Amino acid sequence: MAILKIAKLGHPVLVKKTNEINNLNKLNLKKIVFDMSETIIDADGIGLAAPQVHLSHRMFIYRNPDIEDDDKINITVFINPIIEKLSDETEDDWEACLSVPGMSGLVRRFKRIKYSAIDLNGNNIAGEVEGLHARVIQHEFDHLNGVLYTSRLAHKSAFGYSEEM
């Protein structure tokens, strides 16, 4: 395994739309996921999308905030995900991103969403989630379309250095 270099705000890979993954084996996706897992743990992040490690693929990993993980590491892998809001209801909350280190912003997200994706074994996964879990998925999904949370601020002024807020 290896800790990967994280692309920071300003790198073109972060604003590029990613490519769908058609052949799981050809890509050696297991190695990518292992390396991304090590990277997210090292950086103490909640989610990490492929573009953040300079890979323009439609996949991300995240730690499910609904699971208590005291000693066991919980990493969920979403490949070629699709998400849809379950209602128009939104929530504002603070977000940060490993590609925008030291900063945080108040971001408006849909409160409840449904998702479908493929997992690392090629199985279809789907579900409905809300709150922080829905927020994490929406944040990571945005990365696959070249969108950073900084373009979804609830208020223009609700953004700055975490240590100042």
Judged by CB under 5 A, the chain residues 118 through 137 that form the site for Ni ion are none
* Alpha helices in the chain, H assignment, sequence order: 29-42, 131-144
**Residue 11's Cα: distance from chain center in Å?**
17
Judged by CB under 5 A, the chain residues 18 through 57 that form the site for Ni ion are none
The site that binds Ni ion (CB under 5 A) totals a number of residues, namely 1
Give the shortest CB-52-to-Ni ion separation in angstroms: 6
CB nearer to Ni ion: pick between 24 and 75? 75
Residue of 55, 61, 97, 137 interacting with Ni ion (CB under 5 A): 97
Helices and strands (DSSP H and E) totals, the chain: 2, 8
From 14-22, 34-42, 95-103, 108-116, give the range in contact with Ni ion by CB under 5 A: 95-103
CB nearer to Ni ion: pick between 7 and 97? 97
CA distance 112 to 109: 9
CA distance 135 to 141: 10
Give the shortest CB-157-to-Ni ion separation in angstroms: 21
Q: What are the distances in angstroms from CA 43 to CA 23, 57, 65, 83, 160?
A: 29, 21, 17, 26, 20
CB nearer to Ni ion: pick between 32 and 97? 97
Sign of the torsion formed by the C-alpha atoms of 52, 66, 124 and 76: positive
Give the shortest CB-23-to-Ni ion separation in angstroms: 26
Structure tokens at 50: 């492929």
Give the shortest CB-122-to-Ni ion separation in angstroms: 26
Could you confirm whether 140 is annotated as catalytic? Answer: yes
CB nearer to Ni ion: pick between 32 and 53? 53
Q: What are the residue numbers of the active site? A: 140
Which residues contribute to the site for Ni ion (CB under 5 A)?
A: 97
